[in-house]
Amino acid sequence: MSPPVKKPFAIGWEGAIFLALLLYPLFPIFESLFFRATQRSLGEQLPLVFIFALLAYGLNVVVGYTGLLHLGIAAFFAVGAYVAGIFTTAAYSFGWPFWVVLPLGVLAATVLGLLLGAPTLRLRGDYLALVTLGFGEVTKFTLRNMEKITAGTRGLSPIPPPSLPLVPPSAWADDYRPFYYLTLGVLILVALLLHNLERSRLGRAWIALREDELAANCMGLNPNKLKLAAFALGAGLAGLAGVLYATRLTSTADPNAYDFNRSIFMVCCLILGGLGSRLGALVGVIMLVGFDNILTPIIDSKIQEWFPNSGGRICLSFTGWRLAIFGLALILMMRFRPEGIVPSSRMKHELHPDEAVSNGIDPITMGRNTGEVETLGRKGGQS
């Protein structure tokens, strides 16, 4: 047997995106050109994209790696945000710094994820989706009704900025770069963590569980422990994103910001980008969050310039059409590229076995516990 051939070092598309994002603030000409064309700051908007990318990474662990349909990720997002609000605002006597609250929010969301996952270990498919959906709605209404703790629909504010050496407190409000690099740095660290986790024993076990739970159980894997680990990690990453989100807004915002729409929006990001793919999750968030938070206001302002006498008619407002455009894009994606824009290699081989054969991968079939026959890919016919 010939020794494996080492591949040359390659940064990859994900690394190229992160490198471009790291270099963007170092060249103010791009920010000034974007502001001149749109009257909006791209650097101010990108930290929200990074935060939602963290949330998508957490959901991808549960839905993409493990194959569990989770529709309540916004609940853990809310837990992180309200932990930041309770332990940092002047409404309470804690006054803890950001760097203490950040792991605390992750820990609180992780524990809540375990509490949700433990009773639902035997549920699959639609039943698990309904339970997680209900949990998300219960969390939202609980936050709204506990006004003495959460301030209800007003939210908790102001949340102070993080403290960093050589960064004065005023810089967080006057300059986008400190929070930009903070959120981007956290996102890159999480991406590296998931990169190593995918190739670890736990990551391979999650993939086996997603492909066939019965077969994974027969091979000695413990599905209950694997599901709990996925729930815990996904919830912890959502709590991390929640702490950063509340800190960015300097408020926990209205509990409606953490409703079912937020959860389904993140699921759509994964579907558009590609389930089980880190790069797909990142691309999906960039496209959908960028479309919603950056492109839509720009087009609306341009329409107002072109039609100043529109009188606010919804037919001449891009905001009124954005959901229709969003839905049409999803329909076309599911029809012509169901694996997503940047799918994982395994998902691509399953849905396009002809391409797998042309790339030197022999398709094989594997029976599942449902009796269905799926097409998988195996390199060079090896086991």
Structure-block tokens of residue 255 = 């509990």
Q: Which residue has the higher pLDDT, 60 or 334?
A: 60
For residue 148, how many other CB atoms are within 10 A of its CB? Answer: 7
Rounded-to-integer distance, Cα 192 and Cα 368, Å: 32
Cα(25)–Cα(42) distance, integer angstroms? 10
Choice among 117-126, 285-294, 317-326 with the minimum mean pLDDT? 317-326
- What's the pLDDT band for 9 if we cut at 50, 70, 90? very low
Give strand ranges (E) for the chain.
361-367, 373-379
User: Which token pair is 97?
Assistant: 């710094």
Residue matched to tokens 């997503």: 340
**Coil vs helix vs strand at 353:** helix
pLDDT digits over 252-280, tens only?
999 999 999 999 999 999 989 988 889 99
pLDDT tens-digit map of 337-383:
888 888 877 766 666 666 555 555 554 444 343 333 343 333 434 43
Residues in the chain: 383
Sequence ranges of the domains in the chain: 12-365
Average pLDDT over residues 80-85: 95
Query: What CATH code is assigned to 12-365?
Result: 1.10.3470
Which of 163, 180, 211 minimizes the C-alpha distance to 49?
A: 180
Q: Is the pLDDT of residue 312 over 80?
A: no
pLDDT attached to residue 349: 67
Mean pLDDT over all residues of the chain? Answer: 84
Mean pLDDT score, 220-231:
92
Q: 13-48: per-residue pLDDT in tens?
A: 888 999 999 999 999 998 898 888 777 888 999 999
Q: State the pLDDT at residue 368.
A: 41
pTM confidence score: 0.86
Confidence bin at 226 (pLDDT 50/70/90) = very high
Written in H, E and C, the secondary structure of 235-294 is HHHHHHHHHHHHHHHCCCCCHHHHCHHHHHHHHHHHHHHCCCCHHHHHHHHHHHHHHHHH
